[in-house]
Amino acid sequence: MTLFPRIAVVLAAAVALPCRAATPLDADPNAVARAMDGKRIVVLGEVHDNAAQHALRLAALRILVEGGARPALAFEQFDHEWQADIDRARRERPRDAGHVIAAGKGAPSWRWELYRPFVQLALDYDLPIVAANLSRRGAMDVATQPRTGAAPSVPVAVQRAHEDAIAKGHCNLLPPEALPGMANAQIARDRTLAESLRPHSAQGVVLLTGNGHARIDIGVPFWFTPDERRASVSIGILERDGDAGAGDAAGRFDAYVLTARAERPDPCEELRTRHRK
């Protein structure tokens, strides 16, 4: 198993590269591990509540580290402001994933029974844990700024794509005036996640995140430099009968896996109920 090469990378302004054809992968840990192998930066997507997808990702990462790779694991689930607390918790109890999660102020909205094994993997193999996300408070500050449309550094097409994705993700129930602020917050998260990977790209880093953040056209990889893009791979792990399938993978990921859809209530019905109250 090839180790993550040690080459320093500097994050700069995003430059769009030509779209690559997305490569379909078998829903097999070895196939996912091969797709990650040798890449300095891996963006590994998911549907947050799909336990089978988490198991697939964990098994693939285990293959990598058992083969000798020692990438940092960057978590969307931890806000970057708690990095020092996570590091302190590791020193206090080097193998206690629950203690690290508590120190990282892991929000209860995350299903920690699904993410805890990744924290434990990092502790067992002494991998750096990166608190990568913008805080909810930080995202709210961006969302409520008195600005409409894209920030000067954000292409209009990217802003609109985010607004469309947010509208669709909320079952087209949001008022149009809410979309620009929410898109700005999502873009700020993407940029923060991208920047959080920079100090760890020399040894290799894997970002554990949702499929929306993993998109190469508008997500975290959009904010990589050309050198970073060439050294990276973004893998979408999609649900076969969900909104995003093989047809939606082209131009959005470097590679993708299709899995069965997780059992869950109709999210649109839940949102409609909330809006009626």
Provide the CATH number for the domain around residue 116. 3.40.50.11550
Dist. CA 190–CA 204, nearest whole Å: 19
CB atoms within 10 A of CB 166: 19
Dist. CA 173–CA 275, nearest whole Å: 8
Mean pLDDT, residues 46-67 taken together: 98
Dist. CA 174–CA 237, nearest whole Å: 27
Least-confidence region, from 56-60, 93-97, 203-207, 266-270: 266-270
Dist. CA 14–CA 221, nearest whole Å: 9
Could you say which DSSP state residue 131 is in? E
What pLDDT sits at residue 277? 59
Dist. CA 236–CA 257, nearest whole Å: 6
Residue 23, amino acid: T
pLDDT band at 1 (very low <50, low <70, confident <90, very high): very low
Within-domain flag for 38: yes
Within-domain flag for 20: no
Pairing assessment for the beta strands 255-259 and 23-25 based on DSSP bridges: parallel
Least-confidence region, from 16-20, 176-180, 210-214: 16-20
Domain span at 113:
30-276
Within-domain flag for 251: yes
Within-domain flag for 8: no
Non-local (6+) Cβ contacts of 255 within 8 A are 22, 23, 24, 25, 35, 233, 234, 235, 236
Within-domain flag for 227: yes
> What pLDDT, in 10s, does the model give residues 127-140?
999 999 998 888 88
Dist. CA 183–CA 21, nearest whole Å: 26
Within-domain flag for 7: no
What pLDDT sits at residue 151? 65
For residue 98, pLDDT over 50 is answered with yes
Non-local (6+) Cβ contacts of 40 within 8 A are 4, 5, 7, 9, 201, 202, 204, 205, 228, 231, 232
Domain count, the chain: 1
Within-domain flag for 18: no
Dist. CA 203–CA 71, nearest whole Å: 6
Within-domain flag for 11: no
Could you say which DSSP state residue 104 is in? T
Question: Taking CA 105 as the corner, what is the angle to CA 101 and CA 111, rounded to the nearest 5 degrees?
Answer: 60
